[in-house]
Structure 1
Amino acid sequence: MRKIKKLKTITAFHQTRGLTPPEHPLISIVNYTDIQMQPEYFDCKWTFDFYLIALKKNIGGKVMYGQQSYDFDEGVMFFIAPGQVFGIEQITGTPANKSGWMLLIHPDFLWGTPLAGGIKKYEYFSYAIHEALFVSKKEEDTLMDIISNIEREYHANIDKFSQGIIISQIETLLNYSDRFYNRQFITRKRAGHQMLEQLESLFSAYFGEDIAGKKGLPRVQYFAERLNLSPKYLSSMLKTLTGQTAQQFIHEQLIELAKEKLSVTSLSVGEIAYMLGFEHSQSFNKLFKSKTSFSPLEFRKSFDQQN
């Protein structure tokens, strides 16, 4: 198992990648062609105390995240938040046409601005590397324009307006990335619907033997792991396909199953609650009423009256 190396500063990143020192200790733009890939770069995994946003082509290796790897021979964009662990697996030969850029942002640079907390709303920082963003040439040009704006300000004389201007450009970059991810979910609807079918099958299997009471309530993490997705990516994809987050989807499925049990069995509400994985029937009652406007007993009574 490869050891994990931690870089606390952007200056340290520059040093380990054979780059000249950054002009600002809390933010830097790196031309990927300037990076010198040292052997030790591949011998371990890495974690940073800063954000890294990158668009790369022909990386000359595979990026590893968890148990997954992704070959960056095509132009893709990915986002690494402080504390994420990743690594690079070297492949034979170094591509002559590698290209791209990296934007490094220390959280302290965002301090005192709305983006300090707002950056957490961009869920793709929690996606796995194999859930990278594929951008078209037109989208890539749009992102490059923003990076160029940041770079011009970065190299200009720093004044009282500099941080605000750069922050606004970073936010624009993140918003465009959000839009492009949404486009990716839409254009890959076929794969998304296949995933939805798999998710429904997994949900049915979870309750297949009526032993959910022993398993507890189904969790997003449980389904994400079996679909080989990160929880955030699963939730974002479901939001595009169904208008529901992963948690909302699970709740919806639970309610539909509860309705079935209430209408075609004589099981008590407590027995149904246990069967669905609820520790307390009061929690089941509360969720059911919030979704249907009826208590479980009221729903059963109304169903009986209809029949």
Structure 2
Amino acid sequence: MIVQCDKSLHSKTIHPLINIGCLSDISNTFIETGFYRIILKDRSSCPDFGRLCCDYQDASVIFLSPEYSLSCLTSEDLSFYKKSIFLSFHADLINTSAIKKHFNDYSFFNYRQNESLHISLREKKILTTRFDDISDELNWGIDKYTNILISGKIELLLNYCKRFYTRQFITRSEVNRCIIQKTKRLIDEYFFMNKISEKGLPTSDYCSNNLNLSSAYFEDLFN
């Protein structure tokens, strides 16, 4: 595997809009705003991140939007991340590439951490290969093709993550059936208490908040 726990990745920027490596330490560069982050965490010494008994146990993938800063984590939280592989890329890289047109399809950047992706060993190998491909391109050197190739490799990585999340919704079918039943009861109660006259029709935000889910995860579950 090419991606290694090399602190030089944090002290020297290979590309101003993207960084990749191992979180052997948390640098100021990593917690700057404006970056999307994907963290691949091994099962060992890993918190649950919402893992259920029906989920795979080999690794977890956490997605962080630019609004989320690791600086708000406690020292105990950070200890879970330090041995993780990460990919960090700035919104400007997306905004100047073809992926911008459908980037909103990757709604898992708006999920909560307890709605993380839990993957099998086979899926983990696929994702680490994608990380390696991006690392290879970064170490090639910057030229006029760099951003095109890197954004394409990021898109491939995200498409695999989207596939694996779809699989996770399927393997969680029984759990999701319970959520749907709770949603139905919540809506029935909403109409029974005549909240519609005061607040209008119940929204996905209303339902997801009452179910302790992010609205993005709630909507994707129903889709």
TM-score (norm 1): 0.60
Give distance in 2, aligned partners of 1:60 and 1:134. Answer: 15
Q: What is the CA RMSD across the aligned residues, in angstroms?
A: 3.3
Q: Unaligned stretches of 5+ in structure 2?
A: 1-6, 52-56
Q: Does 1:178 align with 2:166?
A: no
Q: Does 1:48 align with 2:38?
A: no
1:59 CA displacement:
8.6
Give distance in 2, aligned partners of 1:229 and 1:71. Answer: 11
Instruction: Read off the aligned partner of 1:29 and give its amino acid letter.
Output: I
Q: Unaligned stretches of 5+ in structure 1?
A: 1-14, 63-68, 240-307
Worse-superposed segment, 104-113 or 165-174: 104-113
Name which of 26, 31, 36 aligns with 2:17: 26
Computing the radius of gyration from Cα coordinates, the structure with the larger value is 1
Is the Cα–Cα contact under 8 Å of residues 28 and 103 in structure 1 kept in the other structure?
yes
User: Which residue is 1:219 aligned to?
Assistant: 203
Alignment of 1:1-307 (within 5 A): 19-32=10-23, 34-35=24-25, 48-57=33-42, 70=49, 75-84=59-68, 87-91=72-76, 99-239=83-223
Instruction: Read off the aligned partner of 1:27 and give its amino acid letter.
Output: I
Count residues in correspondence: 210
Query: Could you say which structure has the greater relative contact order, defined with CA pairs below 8 angstroms and 6 or more residues apart?
Result: 2
Structure 1 runs of 4+ off > 4 angstroms?
58-62, 71-74
1:85 CA displacement:
5.1
Give distance in 2, aligned partners of 1:222 and 1:22. Answer: 43
1:159 CA displacement:
2.2
- The alignment-based identity, stated in percent, is 28
Instruction: Read off the aligned partner of 2:198 and give its amino acid letter.
Output: K
Give distance in 1, aligned partners of 2:36 and 2:222. Answer: 26
1:116 CA displacement:
2.8
Q: Deviations over 1:119-140 (max 9, x none)?
A: 2221111111111000111101
Is the Cα–Cα contact under 8 Å of residues 108 and 216 in structure 2 kept in the other structure?
yes
Distance 1:83 1:37, change over 3 A: closer
TM-score (norm 2): 0.81
Give distance in 1, aligned partners of 2:96 and 2:189. Answer: 48
1:61 CA displacement:
8.2
Is the Cα–Cα contact under 8 Å of residues 18 and 36 in structure 1 kept in the other structure?
no
